[in-house]
Structure 1
Amino acid sequence: MAQINQPMYILRDDTERFQGRQALRMNIFASQLLASIVRTTLGPKGMDKMLVDKMGDVVVTNDGATILQEMDIAHPAAKMLVEIARKQENVVGDGTTTVVIIAGELLKKAQELMEDGTPVPTILMGYRLAVAKAMEILFDISFDARDKDTLFGIAKTAMTGKGSDYAKDELAELLVQAVKKVEEGEEVDKTLIKIHRINGGSVEDSKIVDGIFIDQGRANETMPKEIHDAKIALMKYPLELKDLENAKVDFTDPLQMQIFLDNEQEMLKEIADKIIDSGCNVLFCQKGIDDVVQHYLSKEGIMAFKRVKNTDVKRIMKATGAELITNIEDLTPDVLGKADYIHQERVFDQILTFIEGCDEPKASSILIRGSTRHISSEIERAMEDALGVVAATIEEGKVVSGGGSPEIEIARQLRLYANSIGGREQLAIIAFADALEIVPRTLSENAGLNTIDLLVELRAAHEDNPYMGLDVFEGKVVDMKEAGVIEPQKVKKQAIQSAQEACEMILRIDDLVAAAGALQKPDPDENLDNSGMPPAPGMGGMGGMPPMM
Structure 2
Amino acid sequence: MGSHSTERDGSGDERLSTLLHNMRAVQAVAASVEGTIGPKGLDTMLVDEQGGVIITNDGVTILEEMEVKHPAARLMIGLARSQQREVGDGTTTATLLAAALVTEGVAQVQKGVPVAKVIAGIEQGIGEAVARLKEAALPIHTFDDERLFHIAYIAGREQEDIARLVIEGAKLLGREKMLEPDFSFSDLITARESAENEVLDGVIINQRPLSREMPKHMENVRLLVLNDALAPEEMDDEALGTEIGFQRYLQLKEEYRRNLEKLRMLEVGAVILDRSCDSMAEEFCLDHGILVLHRVFQSERVRAARYTGARSLKRSALNKDIKELSRSLGFAERLEFDESLGQVRIMGGRGVPTATMIIGASTGEVVGERERIAKDAAAAVQAALRGGYLPGGGSIELFLSRHLEVWRQSVKGMEGFGVEAVAAALRTPLIQMMRNAGFNPLEKIEQVKAAQAEAGVSSTGLNFDTGQCADMLTSGVVDPALVKLHALQTAGEVSRAILRIHTVIRRKSPTTLSDE
CA distance in structure 1 between the aligned counterparts of 2:205 and 2:171, rounded to whole angstroms: 19
Q: Secondary structure at 1:143's aligned position in 2? A: coil
CA distance in structure 1 between the aligned counterparts of 2:62 and 2:393, rounded to whole angstroms: 22
CA distance in structure 1 between the aligned counterparts of 2:164 and 2:470, rounded to whole angstroms: 25
CA distance in structure 1 between the aligned counterparts of 2:178 and 2:484, rounded to whole angstroms: 25
CA distance in structure 1 between the aligned counterparts of 2:283 and 2:68, rounded to whole angstroms: 52
CA distance in structure 2 between the aligned counterparts of 1:91 and 1:125, rounded to whole angstroms: 25
Which of 495, 508, 516 is the equivalent residue of 2:487? 495
Alpha-carbon distance, 1:61 to partner: 0.9
Alpha-carbon distance, 1:360 to partner: 7.7
Output one character per residue of 1:16-54: Cα deviation in whole Å (capped at 9) or x when no partner.
xx9311111111111112111211111221111111122
Alpha-carbon distance, 1:251 to partner: 9.4
Aligned to 2:15: 20
Which of 333, 338, 344 is the equivalent residue of 1:345? 338
Q: Secondary structure at 1:183's aligned position in 2? A: helix
Q: 1:187 to 1:129 in 2, by over 3 A?
A: closer
Letter paired with 2:393: G
Output one character per residue of 1:88-135: Cα deviation in whole Å (capped at 9) or x when no partner.
111111111111111111122122222322222221122121111111
Aligned to 1:143: 138
Asked if residue 458 in structure 1 is aligned to residue 448 in structure 2, the reply is: yes
CA distance in structure 1 between the aligned counterparts of 2:120 and 2:307, rounded to whole angstroms: 52
Asked if residue 176 in structure 1 is aligned to residue 170 in structure 2, the reply is: yes
Aligned to 1:290: 278
Q: Percent identity?
A: 27
Which of 149, 153, 161 is the equivalent residue of 1:152? 149
Q: Secondary structure at 1:448's aligned position in 2? A: coil
CA distance in structure 1 between the aligned counterparts of 2:447 and 2:182, rounded to whole angstroms: 39
Alpha-carbon distance, 1:221 to partner: 2.2
CA distance in structure 2 between the aligned counterparts of 1:168 and 1:223, rounded to whole angstroms: 35
CA distance in structure 2 between the aligned counterparts of 1:118 and 1:25, rounded to whole angstroms: 15
Letter paired with 1:473: D
Asked if residue 194 in structure 1 is aligned to residue 182 in structure 2, the reply is: no
Aligned to 1:415: 405
CA distance in structure 2 between the aligned counterparts of 1:457 and 1:168, rounded to whole angstroms: 34
Whether the 8 Å contact between 2:88 and 2:379 is mirrored in structure 1 is yes
Listed as ranges, the matches of 1:411-490 within 5 Å are: 411-463=401-453, 464-490=456-482
Aligned to 2:514: none
CA distance in structure 1 between the aligned counterparts of 2:67 and 2:116, rounded to whole angstroms: 33
Asked if residue 336 in structure 1 is aligned to residue 329 in structure 2, the reply is: yes
Whether the 8 Å contact between 1:236 and 1:325 is mirrored in structure 2 is yes
Letter paired with 2:335: I
Q: 1:83 to 1:479 in 2, by over 3 A?
A: same
Asked if residue 377 in structure 1 is aligned to residue 346 in structure 2, the reply is: no
Higher mean Cα deviation, 492-501 or 417-426?
A: 417-426
Aligned to 1:100: 95
Letter paired with 1:432: V
Which of 47, 51, 58 is the equivalent residue of 1:63? 58
CA distance in structure 2 between the aligned counterparts of 1:402 and 1:60, rounded to whole angstroms: 25
Letter paired with 1:75: H
Alpha-carbon distance, 1:322 to partner: 2.4
Whether the 8 Å contact between 2:208 and 2:343 is mirrored in structure 1 is yes
Q: Secondary structure at 2:190's aligned position in 1? A: strand
CA distance in structure 1 between the aligned counterparts of 2:206 and 2:112, rounded to whole angstroms: 61
Aligned to 1:522: none
Whether the 8 Å contact between 1:178 and 1:365 is mirrored in structure 2 is no
Q: Secondary structure at 1:19's aligned position in 2? A: helix
Asked if residue 32 in structure 1 is aligned to residue 22 in structure 2, the reply is: no
Aligned to 1:514: 506
RMSD of aligned alpha carbons: 2.8
Alpha-carbon distance, 1:511 to partner: 1.5
Whether the 8 Å contact between 2:186 and 2:375 is mirrored in structure 1 is no
Asked if residue 308 in structure 1 is aligned to residue 296 in structure 2, the reply is: yes
CA distance in structure 2 between the aligned counterparts of 1:181 and 1:306, rounded to whole angstroms: 34
Whether the 8 Å contact between 1:195 and 1:368 is mirrored in structure 2 is yes
Alpha-carbon distance, 1:222 to partner: 2.2
Aligned to 1:525: none
CA distance in structure 2 between the aligned counterparts of 1:407 and 1:332, rounded to whole angstroms: 58
Asked if residue 322 in structure 1 is aligned to residue 318 in structure 2, the reply is: no
Whether the 8 Å contact between 1:268 and 1:293 is mirrored in structure 2 is no
CA distance in structure 1 between the aligned counterparts of 2:385 and 2:351, rounded to whole angstroms: 20
Alpha-carbon distance, 1:492 to partner: 1.1
Which of 224, 227, 230 is the equivalent residue of 2:218? 227
Q: 1:172 to 1:192 in 2, by over 3 A?
A: closer
Letter paired with 2:339: R
Aligned to 1:543: none
Q: 1:184 to 1:38 in 2, by over 3 A?
A: closer
Letter paired with 1:159: G
Asked if residue 122 in structure 1 is aligned to residue 117 in structure 2, the reply is: yes
Alpha-carbon distance, 1:188 to partner: 5.8
CA distance in structure 2 between the aligned counterparts of 1:260 and 1:419, rounded to whole angstroms: 83
CA distance in structure 1 between the aligned counterparts of 2:272 and 2:162, rounded to whole angstroms: 35
Whether the 8 Å contact between 1:403 and 1:480 is mirrored in structure 2 is yes
CA distance in structure 2 between the aligned counterparts of 1:191 and 1:420, rounded to whole angstroms: 43
Alpha-carbon distance, 1:227 to partner: 0.8
CA distance in structure 2 between the aligned counterparts of 1:500 and 1:192, rounded to whole angstroms: 26
Output one character per residue of 1:250-286: Cα deviation in whole Å (capped at 9) or x when no partner.
599xxxx9x9998676444212101111122222233
Q: 1:415 to 1:266 in 2, by over 3 A?
A: same
CA distance in structure 1 between the aligned counterparts of 2:255 and 2:160, rounded to whole angstroms: 58
Aligned to 1:388: 379
Question: Between Structure 1 and Structure 2, which shows a larger proportion of helix residues?
Answer: 2
Unaligned residue ranges in structure 1 (runs of 5+): 1-17, 517-549
Listed as ranges, the matches of 1:82-97 within 5 Å are: 82-97=77-92
CA distance in structure 1 between the aligned counterparts of 2:215 and 2:427, rounded to whole angstroms: 61
Letter paired with 2:279: D
Q: 1:193 to 1:40 in 2, by over 3 A?
A: closer
Aligned to 1:15: none
Letter paired with 1:313: R
CA distance in structure 1 between the aligned counterparts of 2:248 and 2:416, rounded to whole angstroms: 85
Whether the 8 Å contact between 1:151 and 1:176 is mirrored in structure 2 is no
